[in-house]
């Protein structure tokens, strides 16, 4: 998956403050642990398919004050531009390992294959690798 790896490396290289980026993610994780926020239904509509969170009570994440029932996500951009727009799928970090949905995995395979879905496993057609996002 060298193309995906390259994109992630470029994203981190372009991050003006990776320590702050990781600190914000740690704040989200801490808010989840304290039950200040919860995972809401679904995920953000572009790669890397960040979870959608729901504030359960007033909480500050980074510089943003969130209010009860306010949804938010942690969007990843490269130079202010969305990374891999229009992609389908979902990825979640569970037990220290990334678990990727079928559609997400198939999109990564297509990315590695120069964007072509030719030669991908048959299950990728069912997972929506070759169809545009709704």
pLDDT of 70-79, one tens digit each? Answer: 988 877 665 5
For residue 129, pLDDT over 50 is answered with no
Residues 50 and 95 in one domain: no
Residues 78 and 46 in one domain: yes
Residues 105 and 80 in one domain: no
Boundary (domain end) residue, out of 48, 64, 85: 85
Residues 59 and 95 in one domain: no
Residues 63 and 116 in one domain: no
Q: Which helix (H) or strand (E) holds 2?
A: helix 2-14
Residues 118 and 64 in one domain: no
Q: What is the pLDDT of residues 12-26, one digit of tens each?
A: 777 778 888 888 889
Pair 17, 57: CB distance under 8 Å: no
Q: State the pLDDT at residue 49.
A: 64
Q: How confident is residue 88, by pLDDT bands cut at 50, 70 and 90? A: low
Pair 66, 52: CB distance under 8 Å: no
Residues 52 and 106 in one domain: no
Residues 79 and 94 in one domain: no
Q: State the pLDDT at residue 69.
A: 93
Residues 112 and 76 in one domain: no
Domain that holds residue 128: 87-134
Give me the phi and psi of 7, to 5 degrees please. Answer: -65, -45
How many domains does the chain divide into? 2
Residues 104 and 42 in one domain: no
């Amino acid at each position: 998956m060298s193309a995906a790896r390259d994109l992630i490396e470029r994203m981190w290289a372009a991050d003006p403050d990776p320590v702050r980026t990781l600190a914000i993610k740690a704040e989200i994780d801490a808010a989840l642990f304290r039950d200040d926020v919860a995972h809401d239904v679904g995920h953000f509509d572009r790669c890397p398919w960040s979870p959608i969170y729901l504030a359960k009570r007033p909480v500050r994440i980074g510089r943003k004050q969130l209010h009860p029932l306010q949804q938010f996500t942690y969007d990843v951009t490269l130079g202010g531009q969305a990374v891999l727009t229009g992609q389908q799928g979902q990825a979640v970090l569970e037990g220290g390992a990334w678990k990727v949905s079928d559609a997400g995995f198939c999109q990564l395979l297509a990315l590695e294959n120069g964007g072509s879905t030719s030669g991908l496993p048959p299950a990728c057609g069912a997972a929506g690798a070759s169809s545009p996002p709704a």
